Amino acid sequence: ALIITDECINCDVCEPECPNGAISQGDEIYEIDPDLCTECVGHYDEPQCVEVCPVDCIPKDPDREETKEELLEKYNRISST
Ligand code: SF4
């Protein structure tokens, strides 16, 4: 999963771009629900939020490293519900 760091400036461009609805406004900055983030696997070649973020504050979460296969599994799980 990807994670939004505290460099987020709350610009709100990423939220509508997420095909999984994983991004929402948190208490201080925007947040990504790691259970919904497939890093856009299943939808796009590149994570859409990373493409649009003006301050490049959306790296991969080092605590939630997933393989492409695991991300695809998550995509299948999410889309079948
Ligand atoms: Fe924050 Fe980047 Fe999303 Fe803007 S695009 S709300 S700076 S994470």
Is residue 11 in contact with ligand 1, taking CB distance under 6 Å?
yes
Q: Confidence class of residue 80 from pLDDT cuts 50, 70 and 90?
A: confident
Is residue 26 in contact with ligand 1, taking CB distance under 6 Å?
no
Q: Whose CA is nearest to atom 8 of ligand 1?
A: 8
Q: In the chain, where are the structural domains located?
A: 15-79
CATH class, domain 15-79, is alpha beta
* DSSP label of 43: T
Instruction: Write the CA distances from 63 to 1, 10, 13, 17, integer angstroms.
Output: 9, 23, 25, 24
pLDDT in tens, 9-19: 999 999 999 99
